[in-house]
Amino acid sequence: MTAVIQALTARPAWKALEAHHQKVRDLHLRELFATDPKRGARLTTEAVGVTLDYSKNRVTDETLGLLLQLAEESSLRARIDAMFRGEKINRTEDRAVLHVALRAPKGASILVDGQNVVPQVHAVLDKMADFCNRIRSGAWKGHTGKPIRNVVNIGIGGSDLGPVMAYEALKHYSMRSITFRFVSNVDGNDFVEATRDLDPSETLFIISSKTFTTLETMTNAQSARSWVLEGLGGDAGAVARHFVAVSTDAAKVSAFGIDTANMFEFWDWVGGRYSLCSAIGLSTMLAIGPDGFRALLHGFHQMDEHFRTAPFERNLPVLMGLLGIWYSDFFGAQTVAVLPYEQYLKRFPAYLQQLTMESNGKHVTLDGTGVACPTAPIYWGEPGTNGQHSFYQLIHQGTRLIPCDFIAFVEALNPLGRHHDILMANVFAQTEALAFGKTPEQVKAEGTPDWLVPHRVFEGNRPTNTILAQRLTPETLGKLVALYEHGVFTQGAIWSIDSFDQWGVELGKVLAQRIIPEVENEAEPDLGHDSSTNSLIRSYRRLKVRS
């Protein structure tokens, strides 16, 4: 993409937003709602079965108009088109960014370097489906002839967070006769706890790594190999029945000892944190079956199409992305809380942390100059209502502004007495309390003694989005994840950053490689670090129990 975009703070909409912010920053949501009785309905929009109520945000029509103008001036439309056309918008890695191709229907055409990638996407999906059917039916036998009853995904980052989040989110639809585990941390406790009650003869490992070089994953994969071989009498032939790989690098998979016939491929135009719809989703497909996985992809695709085609003023990811910019860059909000009122989404905030912060936690723009404003806020969260009894105090009465996304579903997956109505009542109560609070007058009128009044006042004016869908299904999950993916894209486009590289993770990896022999070798090493690091390494060497 060659279009020259003005520096962010020089864009007319940015300047106008700065001036506008001075005028509206103290405006209270109480006033905004009082002067517009239809605000709730007016600032609610629905697309592909997902409803977004963004009325409880500290915005006027003018704010929204200026934010939308900022999107135009930031060439958001051109950036979206460039992504969908397969242009190499990941400039620092010279790669196309085509997770949207992973969920494109058969027959679609998306070109990378002149080649339509959609047929190869569907060929891998078909191969995955065939494999999953064989595992799920028991036709695939382990080395000793037993069917597979346990699946362990070994991966980290995008090769773990997507699979574990999706498995937890869709557990309701999963095949309960297979046990699923996820090992990511190089901390041996992770592997040991995940495998301690499993029988190697009934266990399949999926080694998931885009690069097939990641230290944590390769270390865990080696331990898995030893665990299987020890458990099955040392016959290396067992590897073929108990290991499959998901990667972009066939040569490295082969070098590890996994037959490439048991490898599921994906491509360098799929970013790790955007890879759930690729073969990285193999554990998800094993859990919910090929039809469920295709429904998940269909959900993603519907949101992709909405993002690609809907006018910005009705475009859910664009609206959410712009509101995020408003709080982060104009109000100085440093974090965003994501609060799913759905226990199955318990790993969703952790998944979003990589998606948002590895994508947009950048300090330079595409041309290498410093960004002029804060980029990605810190994402965090817990399922409701648990958070209400821990950190919500700070959101309601603390000194920081924390925009929140509430996520809820009309139907319970496990209807149980009054539970779901109570859960939903809490969603509505929290967003109401955060927006409108409780004035000193109201507190006094309740007979509160004067000295206690300040403690019991709720300022309100805490902004929230409410995202509502009918029911958590594979399709809905796809829509929800794509909503956030494209919100991240929107923000990256406004900040003119490369949302698809992750150079910030490199330095620590390189230093760890240097330190590993320094902690492992018998001979005392010559240490050339700073005095703190040298002394930590020496203490560790002195104190550790040598095995």
Applying CB under 6 A, what is the total number of residues that bind ligand F6P?
Answer: 14
- Contact flag: residue 502 with ligand F6P (CB under 6 A): yes
Q: Is residue 408 within 8 Å of 342, Cβ to Cβ?
A: yes
Q: Is residue 500 within 8 Å of 89, Cβ to Cβ?
A: yes
| Binding letters toward ligand F6P, positions 445-484, x by CB under 6 A | ----------------------------------------
Alpha helical stretches, state H, 43-137: 61-73, 76-84, 99-102, 118-137
Q: What is the rounded CA–CA span in Å between residue 541 and residue 537?
A: 6
Q: Which residue has the tokens 């900022």?
A: 70
Q: Segment near ligand F6P (CB under 6 A), from 3-11, 157-165, 231-239, 328-336?
A: 157-165
Q: Kindly state the tokens that stand for 293.
A: 């996985």
- Contact flag: residue 179 with ligand F6P (CB under 6 A): no
Does residue 385 have a cis peptide bond before it, meaning omega lies within 30 degrees of 0? Answer: yes
Q: Kindly state the tokens that stand for 122.
A: 């569907």
CB atoms within 10 A of CB 257: 14
Among 75, 159, 220, 365, binds ligand F6P (CB under 6 A): 159
Touching ligand F6P, residues 252-291 (CB under 6 A): 272-273
The active-site residue, picked from 38, 389, 455, 544, is 389
- Contact flag: residue 158 with ligand F6P (CB under 6 A): yes
Q: Smallest gap, in angstroms, from Cβ of residue 228 to ligand F6P?
A: 20
- Contact flag: residue 184 with ligand F6P (CB under 6 A): no
Q: Kindly state the tokens that stand for 221.
A: 């994969």
Q: Smallest gap, in angstroms, from Cβ of residue 273 to ligand F6P?
A: 5
Q: What is the rounded CA–CA span in Å between residue 70 and residue 12?
A: 8
Q: Smallest gap, in angstroms, from Cβ of residue 277 to ligand F6P?
A: 14
Touching ligand F6P, residues 349-408 (CB under 6 A): 358
Nearer to ligand F6P, 430 or 502 (CB): 502
- Contact flag: residue 505 with ligand F6P (CB under 6 A): yes
389 is known as an active-site residue = yes
544 is known as an active-site residue = no
Count Cα atoms within 13 angstroms, Cβ side, for 198: 26
93 is known as an active-site residue = no
Among 153, 217, 385, 466, binds ligand F6P (CB under 6 A): 217
Distance of alpha carbon 434 from its chain centroid, rounded? 25
Taking alpha carbons only, the member of 410, 406, 351 closest to residue 379 is 351
Q: Kindly state the tokens that stand for 542.
A: 């002195």
Q: Smallest gap, in angstroms, from Cβ of residue 348 to ligand F6P?
A: 17
The active-site residue, picked from 87, 216, 358, 518, is 358
Nearer to ligand F6P, 254 or 448 (CB): 254
Q: Smallest gap, in angstroms, from Cβ of residue 478 to ligand F6P?
A: 19
φ, ψ for residue 206, nearest 5 deg: -105, 115
CB atoms within 10 A of CB 16: 15
Interaction site with ligand F6P (CB under 6 A): 156-159, 209-211, 214, 217, 272-273, 358, 502, 505
Which residues are catalytically annotated?
358, 389, 509
